[in-house]
Amino acid sequence: MAVFKFKDLSGRYALVTGSSSGIGRATCEALLSQGSIVFGVAIDQSEEERSTNFVPVRGDLSDPRDIRSAFEKVLLETDQLDYVANIAGISAKYSLADGDETKWHELIDLNLRGYYLVVREALPLLRKGSGRSIVNVSSINYRLGVPRRSIYSISKAGILGLTTGLARELGSEGIRINSISPGWVFTEREIAEYFTRSQDRSKYLKKLRESQAIDREISPEDIANHILFYLSDASAASTGHNCVVDGGWLLE
């Protein structure tokens, strides 16, 4: 997968949540390839050395104290940020009967409240940066009416509200905020759940090809390329925008 070059990303500071796997990891690697300095926030950090420009930061986005602690660690390295990519999330399935208050907080606190608090903590650092761009990762799932996905769908729809809700407020300071809504992405987690057994793989690939307008298995790197575009000055005229990356599933 080719990573497009955005020269303005080089030498700038980015914070990426959910950096240990999937879209978050792909985004970190894409930013590092551009010459960015990346703070990767994840609840589980790999011992693997990625780059001298990569700074691992442990943080559980469902816990406000952990978010504050993560930013205290960032402040030890820099007093400014150019970019924030909010990617961390879980996609647990709960029926209405099973989705009690505990399950609600499990998803909403991480998938939505965590995004809000990360942006809030990052704001003083973004004000001192040059890039001044935020990308939140949502999903097309809230549009599909998938059973047992109501809480997850609420969290992902809320991310769009968070993005548009802050676009004018932050725009007055020259800070842009956009969102990406992926379709079915072939992350490690999705492959393990749906595409490992040959029988399941055939069934779900058939569903995918019936739903998408193009026959493509969307990769984390596909999403990372779109995230980099919205972080970079190439998208300087866009804020409050939701970019759907779903192979033509919704056709919008």
Q: Catalytic amino acids?
A: 152, 156
Of 29, 27, 35, nearest to 6 by C-alpha is 35
Cα–Cα dist 22/35, whole Å: 21
Contacts of 99 (CB under 8 A, 6+ apart): 150, 151
Extract the runs of DSSP E, i.e. beta strands, from the chain. Answer: 13-17, 37-42, 54-58, 83-86, 133-137, 176-182, 242-245
Q: From CA 168, how far away is CA 225, in angstroms rounded?
A: 25
CA terminus-to-terminus distance, the chain? 24
